Structure 1
C-alpha cells in the first residue's frame, strides 16, 4: 500500500483518501471530519450528508456561502437557507420556491424589463436611455437591454453587444434582423450560453456595435443556482411561439409518412430540453432517441453546434432534423426541408450562419422504456487497460484489492474486455464516467423495452430531482470554499469533490431490480448539473475495424485514449488541473455536412475531460497535454486518426502539432467539408435570395470569418451608420474618438478576412 503522506494521497483508494482528507482538515473543520467518518461507517442519508456539508462550509466561510446566493431573490435565499440548515427537506424547499414564485413572477411592460433579482445586479438600459438611437417602431417595443455584458456559462466568452433583444415570436425576429441590417449591425443568437467555444458574437470586449438575440431571459441564463429542473414549471421561461411544440404532418417537411409510431415534431428554437421532456411524457408520447444530459439547454442551442448523445445506433441531434425554419438577412421567414436533402444536411448544423433559426422539426421515435442498471465498477474492469500497458503503469490505487498472478489477471481482463465490448456494441445508450482519484467508474449503459411502457417509474422522482439540484449547489459551494477558503493540497480538494460527486450518482446492485423509466427521463438522468461551472475539452474520433476484419470493431484506441487521460490526471496530482470527470461515450456516424462524426463507418468515440472553474488558471496547459496524447493515436496501418473537436467545447485556443487548432481544422480536418458547406449555403441563398457576402456581414463572427469566409470581404457599413454608432457609444463629446473606434472595428474585420491570403 502506498504511503499516506499528503503527497501520496492520490495513490490511495477513494475511501481511504477521504478518511485521510478528514484527518488533515480535523483542526480547521472538525465537523467535516466527523461527518466523513460517520458516512464511511454508517452511510449517512444522501440528503442529510449534503445539508451537513454545506452547513459546515456556511459556518466556517459565511462569505463564500453568501456570495453564491446573493443574486437570488430573497425568498429563494430563505428556502435554500432552511434546507441547508436542516429545517426542511429538499422537496419542501422546492414547494416553498414554487409557492413564493406564484406571487413573484418576472414581468415586462412595453420595452422595459423588470427582473426578479436584487436591483444592484444589473443596470438595464433601453432605447429611451439613448436618445440618439434611431426610432424603429417595431423593435422599440420588443423587450431589450442596451450595453448589457454578455458572458457564457463557462466564463470563457465575455462581450458587450450594443443591444440584447428578447423576441417572443417570428415577427419580432424579422423586425430585429431588418433593423440590424439597416443599421449595419451583426446578429448572433444565444440560448442557455452553454458553449465554451467562441460561437456567440464578435470578440471585441467593449461595445461591439452588434445585436444579440437572447432566446432565454437573462435571469435564466445569468444566475446560479438555476432551478429549471425542479418539478414546478415556474422556473422555466414564459411560454411564447418560439417555445412551441407541435406534431406536424409530412407535408410540413415535404417528407414521407412515418411508420411504427414515429412522428414529426416541430419545436421552437427557444424550447428547453426540460420543457420538451415534460411534453413528451404528458402529451407527445414520443421521444428523441438520444440527447445531451442538461435540461436547461435550448433545442436550438443544442442543434446549432451539432451536439449528440450516446449509443452506436445514434448519430447527432442534427441528423434527426427534417426541417429548419429561419429568418434570413432580408427579414424573410424561410424553410429548408426534406425536398432538398443535401441542403438540409448543411442547414441542420449550420452554427446559426443561415440566419436566426426560429423552429426545428425533428423525426422522433415512439416513447419506450429504458431499462437502467447503472453500476460503479472497478476502474480496471470498467474499461480495461490497452494490451501494451504494463501492470506497473496502473496507479497503485486502481490495482486489484488482492494480488493476482499473471494468469489470473489475464483471465479477469479478458472477461472485463468482453463485458466492455458487449456494452459498447449492444446497449442502446453507452457512457462511462471516472472522477479523478476514484477507484470506481460509473457505468451508465442501458437497453430499452419497446413493448412495455406501463411498468415504469418517474425517474428521478421529484424528491430525487430536488436532492440532485441542491446537491449540485452544495458542490458549487464546495469548489469555491476549497479555492478561496481552505489552504489544502489540490489532490485533497479533488478527491473530496469526486467523493461528493460519486455519492450523488445512482447505482443498482447486480441482483437488484433495474430502473424502468421512459426514455426522456433516462436521457436526463442527472438534473441541476449546470449549477456547477466547469471547463471542458471533448474530441471525437472514428472506431476502427479489428485487423483482418471489416465490420468487427476494435476498441484498442478507445482504451488507449481513456487510460492516457487517467495517467495524465495522476501525473499532475501535485496541482490537479482536472477536478471533474473523464467522460466517454460510444456513438454512431453522421451525415451532417460539418459534423465531427461524419463518415465514421463503424462509429465514434466521444471522449472528454472536465475541471471545476476554480482550476481555470491551470487548465489550458493540462488540456493541451491530454490533447497531444490523444492526437498521437494511430490506426492499424500506422496512420494518424482524424480527431476533431466537439464544436461547442474548448478547442479554439489549443494547438495541434504546434499549429493553432483552428488552422488544422481549416487546412486539414475539414479541408474538403468547408468548401462543400459553403457551396451548400450558397445554394440555399440562391433559392432564398441572399449571398454568402450577406450572411458573412450579418450573421458571422470572427471564428466563422476565418473558417468559412476568408475569401469574402464584407462591405463597410455606410458612413452615416458609423457616425450613429459612434454617437450612441459615448455621446457627442467623444464623437471623433468613437468614430475612429468604429472604423477600427471595420478594419479589424477586413484584416481578419484577408490575413489568411498573406500567411
Structure 2
C-alpha cells in the first residue's frame, strides 16, 4: 500500500494531470499560470506529501554506521528512525543503495577504532551528470583520523591520486580518476539520488559540525566572529544553526547570532565544496566565500593534519581546488546576524535591465507599447543604483517570460523584531515541490521528445516565475535573516541542470567609475542568442546575472577586477542534447569574449571554475590554453604559495602531486 494513502491520488498522478493540462494550454498559446494556477497549487499540495517523505530528519538518516535495514557490514543505506516509507515515484533511493555493496576496510580505521567503510569500483557521477569515472576505491569516512589513514594507505599502496567530493555540484572534472581513490565526504544516499534527502548534523561525525571559536577586530574596526565549520557540513545545516527556531528534527534551538554575508543559493552543498572553486558571492561590496577564510585544517600529502593560517599562504590555500590536501574544516570570519529587507519584483524586461538600444529587446519579449527615452533613462538610473549599492544584487530571466525577476536587497541591523523565516513554510514546500515537478517534467519530455523543446522551456520557466515573490515599494517588504535571503530558493538540488557561467570584469567608464553598460550588454547578448537559437530550446530555464566585488584570493576569477565583476550564467535542463547545448554555450561565450575596455583591450573574462567550460574555445583557442594566458600573472604566485604551504607542513612541493587534478595540471603545469 502506498504511504500516501489508498484514497488519495499519488503525487505522480497529480503531476501527470497538471503536465497534461499545462502542455495542452501551452501548445494552444494560452497563459499557463492564469488557466492552471489552481491546478498547480493542487499539485504542490500533493508535493507536500512527497516532502513529508523527503524530510529524512523525521524518517531516516544517512550517516556512517547507524542501524540499517540491511546488514551494516555489507550495504550502504539509510537508518530507520521510523518505519521506512514507500519511496517517492521519482526513483527508489533504497533500491539503488541495495545494489551498492559496502565493505569495511581492514587497514583503515576511524577515530573510534571501527573500520572505515568503502565501496570498490563504484561508478562516480557528479550532480550535473557531466563527469563520470570509476575510482578503484571510494571511502566513506566519518572522522578526520580516517581521512589521515586513507591518505597514508593510498601512499603505501601506490595510488597516485586522492581527491575528495562533497555534494558533487561541480560540472567540471575536478574529481578523482579511474582506478584511483575518492573520499566521499557526504553519504551516498544524499548525493546519488533524486529527490535528495536533507541530512542533519551527525554528532558522531567530526567532519561535520559548527563551533564559534573566538572573535577578531578587522582593520576597519568591525567585529568578526570566528566560526569553525566541518568540511562535510552543508549550508543547510549552517543556515539552521544560524537562524535557530524549530529545526527539521523537531527540536527548538536559539539563533546563534552569527551569519555569513554571502553564500551560494543552493543550501544543500557542503562547505568544503562551496568554498573550493572561489566563485560564490553577490553584491559589489562583497568578495567571495574564500575571502572569509581565516584558517584551514587539512590532511596533507603525508596523511597528517595541518593547519593553514599564514595570511600569505591563505591567499592561495583558501581557494585551491583541493590541490593542497583534503580539507576537513575551515574557520570563517562571520558577521553578527543582520536582516534582509527585500523588495523582490517582477518587472518588464525593458525596464529591469534596460537595453543599450531599444532594438536590443526581441519582439516576443516586448511588453510596453511605447517605451520612451525618459522611461529608459530612469530604468538605467535604477539599475545602476542597485548594481552599485545593493547589499545583494541579482537579476533573472526565465526563458520566454516577458517579465524578469529582480532580487536586489539591503540590510537593517535593527529589523529583528519584524523578521520572519523566509521562504515561509508554505513557500518553501511550494519551491521544493516545484523543483520535483520540474524534474518530472524533465523526465516526461525525455520520454516524449516530440512535444518539443520550446514547450518544455515555456512550462519550466512559467513554473519558476510563478513561485517567486513580487511586491511594490508601497507594500510591506520581506524581512528575514540574511542567511535566509541568501538561500532564497529551496529544493534546487531536486532538478538537475546544465550550467555555464562566466565572470566578466566591469571596465572603467570615462568618469573613473564602473561602466554598467557592460552588464546591460552582456545580459541582452545572452537573451538575444537565446531567442534566436536555431534549435529553439537549447536553453530551457534561465539567464541569471549578479554583481560581485574584487577578491584577494589569487585564483578567483574576480581577482584584480577593480570595479567589480558581472557574473552571468545560462541554465538548461539535463535532457537537452549535448550537441545542442555546447554550441549554444559557445555562441554566447563568443559574444562575451569580444568585449573590450575603453583602450581597446580585451576584457580578461574567466569562467566560474565549478560550472561548464571544458571543451569550449575563447577567441579561437581552447579554453585551457586561454586560461593559461588569462591567469598568466597569477599562476606563478599561486604555485609559489602552495609550495610554501607544503613546506610549512614539512613536505616538499613535489609531494602535492597526490592531490593533483589532471584538468588543473593542464592549466597550472608542474609545481
Report the TM-score, using the length of structure 2 for normalisation: 0.87
SS across alignment from 2:148 = helix
CA RMSD of aligned residues (A): 2.9
SS across alignment from 2:637: helix
Provide the rounded CA distance (Å) in 2 between the counterparts of 1:457 and 1:646: 33
Cα 1:335–1:657 shift into 2, 3 Å:
same
Superposition map of 1:560-571 within 5 A: 560-571=521-532
* Matches of 1:456 and 1:191, distance apart in 2: 32
Residue in structure 2 matched with residue 9 of structure 1 by the alignment: none
Whole-angstrom distance in 2 between the partners of 1:376 and 1:638? 36
Which residue of the other structure, out of 549, 553, 574, is the alignment partner of 1:613?
574
Taking structure 1 as reference, are residues 226 and 209 closer, same or farther at Cα in structure 2, changes over 3 Å only? same
**Deviations, residues 33-63 of structure 1 (Å, cap 9, x unaligned):** 8997684158537522546xxxxxxxxxxxx
Contact kept in structure 2, 1:112 and 1:143, CA below 8 Å = no
Identify which of 213, 220, 233 aligns with 1:271.
233
Evaluate the alpha carbon distance shift between residue 119 and residue 38 of structure 1 in structure 2; reply closer, same or farther with a 3 A threshold.
closer
Do the aligned residues in 2 keep the contact of 1:91 with 1:462 (CA within 8 Å)?
Answer: no
CA positional deviation for 1:398: 2.1
Q: Deviations over 1:709-739 (max 9, x none)?
A: x346xxxxxxxxxxxxxxxxxxxxxxxxxxx
Q: Deviations for 1:314-335, whole angstroms, at most 9, x for unmatched residues?
A: 1000000000111111111111
Cα deviations by residue, 1:358-405 (Å, 9 ceiling, x for unpaired)? 11000001100100111001111111112xx3x34421122243235x
8 Å Cα contact 1:536/1:609 also seen in 2 = yes
Which residue matches 1:370? 340
Cα displacement (A) at 1:504: 1.6
- In 1, Cα distance between equivalents of 2:518 and 2:62: 56
1:748 corresponding residue in structure 2: none
1:401-431 Cα distance to aligned partner (Å, 9 max, x none)? 3235xxxx21110010000011111110000
Rounded to whole Å, the distance in 1 between the matches of 2:40 and 2:424 is 15
User: What are the within-5 Å matches in structure 2 for residues 442-481 of structure 1?
Assistant: 442-481=405-444
Q: For 1:240, which of 188, 205, 228 is the aligned residue?
A: 205
2:94 to 110, 118, 124: 118
Find the residue that maps to 2:340 and give its secondary structure: strand
Compare CA radii of gyration and give the structure with the larger one: 1
Q: Deviations over 1:596-621 (max 9, x none)?
A: 00011111110111111111421001
TM superposition shift of 1:341: 1.3
* Cα 1:706/1:328, change in 2 over 3 Å: same
CA–CA separation in structure 2 for the residues paired with 1:274 and 1:295: 5
Tell me how far 1:585 sits from its aligned partner.
0.2
Which segment is superposed worse, 560-569 or 104-113? Answer: 104-113
Specify the alignment match of 2:317 in structure 1.
347
| Structure 1 residues without counterparts, runs of 5 or longer | 1-21, 52-82, 203-207, 713-759
1:491–1:574: 8 Å Cα contact kept in structure 2?
Answer: no
Secondary structure of the structure 2 residue equivalent to 1:639: coil
Choose the corresponding residue for 1:327, options 292, 295, 299: 299
Pairing 1:485–2:460 present: no
Aligned ranges 1:4-83 → 2 under 5 Å: 39-40=33-34, 43-44=37-38, 47-48=41-42, 50=44, 83=46
Greater per-residue strand proportion: 2
**What does 1:647-658 correspond to in 2, within 5 Å?**
647-658=609-620
SS in structure 2 of the partner of residue 553 of structure 1: coil
Query: Deviations along 1:184-222, whole A, 9 cap, x unmatched?
Result: 2120000000000111112xxxxx321100110110000
Which residue of the partner structure matches residue 638 of structure 2? 677
Query: How many matched pairs?
Result: 623
State whether residues 110 and 142 of structure 1, in contact with CA within 8 Å, keep that contact through their aligned partners in structure 2: no
Residue 707 in structure 1 maps to residue 667 in structure 2: yes
Aligned to 1:168: 142
Q: How has the CA–CA distance of structure 1 residues 500 and 662 changed in structure 2, closer, same or farther, with 3 Å as cutoff? A: same
Write out aligned runs for 1:593-608 (5 A): 593-608=554-569
For 2:5, the equivalent position in structure 1 comes to: none
Report the alpha carbon displacement of residue 280 of structure 1 after superposing the two structures with TM: 1.0
TM value normalised by structure 1: 0.77
How many Å separate the matches in 1 of 2:369 and 2:400?
Answer: 19
Residue 662 in structure 1 maps to residue 621 in structure 2: no
Name the CA shift for 1:35/1:472 in 2 (closer, same or farther; >3 Å). Answer: farther
Deviation per CA, 1:143-185, whole angstroms, max 9, x where unpaired? 2111111100000100111111111111111111110111121
Q: Which residue of 1 aligns with 2:363?
A: 396
